[in-house]
Amino acid sequence: MTGLLVGAVFGAVFVVVNAQSPLNSVAADLLRVVACLGAAAVVAMWFVTARKERPAPGGARAGMFGRWYLIIVAAEVLLLFGGLRVLAVLGRPEQGNVAWVAFVVGVHFVALAPVWKDRSIAVPGAILTVLGVAGLVMASTPAVTYVPLVSGVLSGVVLLAGSVTFGWRSLAGAS
């Protein structure tokens, strides 16, 4: 559930930060409210699950954050900040930054799937990767104003929908 909590929070941040023009203000505000409610639902599910489960010391989850996890996260950090710097040096439109972030976060999920032996995280990872690539391509076109919607809002919706769905399944399975 902790991974779902992180996904929901980042998903909500993606939506809240990127729900802007060309969306009208009512649609943007509605998306922000729904995103915050989705994240709040995952927080509530996290607390319910945490009360029910008390992991044993050194349990099965201890291996999730081993050497390969650290390597992938280190690579993610380098790619995120290095890539943003490269985009700035190349004079790319600022909207492309959210596309780069979506791309790197998506690749990070795809890379973690075999490490964690959990193919389900590869699905949102692949979707975020595609949304990131789409935004990077769009940043070089007159559709640049839609990049935050495509790479930001839609990526956030994917993260939130996945977090809520898998959180709900986890709760239902634990009952």
pLDDT at 137 over 80: yes
Q: Cα–Cα distances in Å, from 149 out to 103, 146, 155, 164, 173? A: 14, 5, 9, 21, 34
Is pLDDT larger for residue 56 or for residue 174? 174
Using CA atoms, how far apart are residues 159 and 170, in angstroms rounded to an integer?
A: 16
Q: What angle do CA 96, 98, 103 make, to 5 degrees?
A: 95
For all residues of the chain together, what is the average pLDDT?
A: 91
Is pLDDT larger for residue 32 or for residue 166? 32
Per-residue pLDDT at 8: 94
Structure-block tokens of residue 114: 């075999």
Is pLDDT larger for residue 63 or for residue 128? 128
Is pLDDT larger for residue 118 or for residue 52? 118
Q: What is the pTM of this model?
A: 0.88
Each residue of 144-155: pLDDT tens digit? 999 999 999 999
Mean pLDDT value of segment 78-93 = 96
Kindly indicate the confidence band of residue 98, based on its pLDDT and cuts at 50, 70 and 90.
Answer: very high
The beta strand positions in 29-142, using DSSP E, are none
